[in-house]
A and B are shown apart, each in its own frame.
Chain A
Amino acid sequence: GAGVSQTPSNKVTEKGKYVELRCDPISGHTALYWYRQSLGQGPEFLIYFQGTGAADDSGLPNDRFFAVRPEGSVSTLKIQRTERGDSAVYLCASSQGPLENIQYFGAGTRLSVL
């Protein structure tokens, strides 16, 4: 595709519900990153995939957060038992590979937990 695509663009859910956020990286990009951006702050790293495997998940805040990338392309970020503090914009980025620094971002999913 032309760029990193994220769906949905907006997600409103109730406290305690389960949500899935999808990221479709640039075709051919093997590295994929998830970040979380709270209002008025810079993006914060959550998890990094190289191919199908999670190479670094040190940024996931707790075990309610999980991400997969089963075929090395599309990734899904899953949040269980959502809390109001999970409300933020979830950004996905991709790069050509582990030796390529430049990351291209999607427009994000704005998650609102009521």
Chain B
Amino acid sequence: GENVEQHPSTLSVQEGDSAVIKCTYSDSASNYFPWYKQELGKRPQLIIDIRSNVGEKKDQRIAVTLNKTAKHFSLHITETQPEDSAVYFCAASRPEYGNKLVFGAGTILRVKS
């Protein structure tokens, strides 16, 4: 089955700097890759997603890139703000498996002001 690895496990950046989180996946048939942000004690919230037919997607300060050949995708946050501090999870899914999400272990992002 699918396996998703996520790095780094923790990331500290200065406010205003950029943050990059990377994930690799094992199943070449996976075609949907969402990123969720989870604040302490709260629900995971979708912040951006990408499908396998595109290589990059942007939404204001957030972008995701996908390299299907290498089977990895990355989350890029620019101009980080203290409110970006949270745990970020990447995930992968494929429709043949009902789109069930396989998650990475998460990255704790701390933005220092």
Chain B 89-113 per-residue mask, 1 if CB under 8 angstroms from chain A, else 0 = 1010101011111111110000000
Closest residue of B by beta carbon distance from A97: B99
Contact at B42–A101, with CB atoms within 8 Å?
no
* Stretch from B12-20, B43-51, B57-65, B74-82 forming part of the interface with A: B43-51
The answer on a CB contact under 8 Å between A107 and B101 is: no
Instruction: Mark interface residues in B14-40 (1 if CB within 8 Å of A CB, else 0).
Output: 000000000000000000101010000
A48–B32 Cα distance when bound, in Å, is: 17
Q: Mark A17-45, 1 if CB is under 8 A from B, else 0.
A: 00000000000000101010000111111
Known pairs A33-B100, A50-B98, A102-B34; A42 contacts B43 (CB<8 A) = no
Q: Are the C-beta atoms of B43 and A101 separated by less than 8 Å?
A: no
Q: Identify the closest chain B residue to A42 (Cβ).
A: B103
Complex contact B95–A98 (CB within 8 A): yes
CB distance from B47 to the nearest CB of A (A): 12
Q: Are A101 and B99 in contact (CB under 8 A)?
A: yes
Cα distance A50–B99 when bound, in Å?
Answer: 11
A87 interface residue per 8 A CB criterion:
no
- Cβ of B95: which chain A residues have Cβ within 8 Å of it? 98-99, 101
Assess the B93–A101 pair: CB atoms within 8 A: yes
Whether A13 is near chain B, meaning CB under 8 Å from some CB there, is no
Minimal Cβ-Cβ distance residue in A for B102: A45
Q: What's the least CB distance linking B49 to chain A, in Å?
A: 7
> Using Cβ atoms and an 8 Å threshold, which residues of chain B touch A93?
101
Cross-chain contact A91 with B43 (CB below 8 angstroms): yes
In the complex, A11 Cα to B101 Cα: how many Å?
A: 25
Q: Which of A49-63 contact B (CB under 8 A)?
A: 50, 55-56, 59
Known: A102-B46, A105-B43. 20 other contacts (CB 8 A): A4-B43, A33-B100, A40-B105, A40-B106, A41-B106, A42-B91, A42-B105, A43-B44, A43-B101, A43-B103, A50-B98, A55-B98, A56-B97, A91-B43, A95-B99, A102-B34, A103-B99, A103-B101, A106-B43, A107-B43
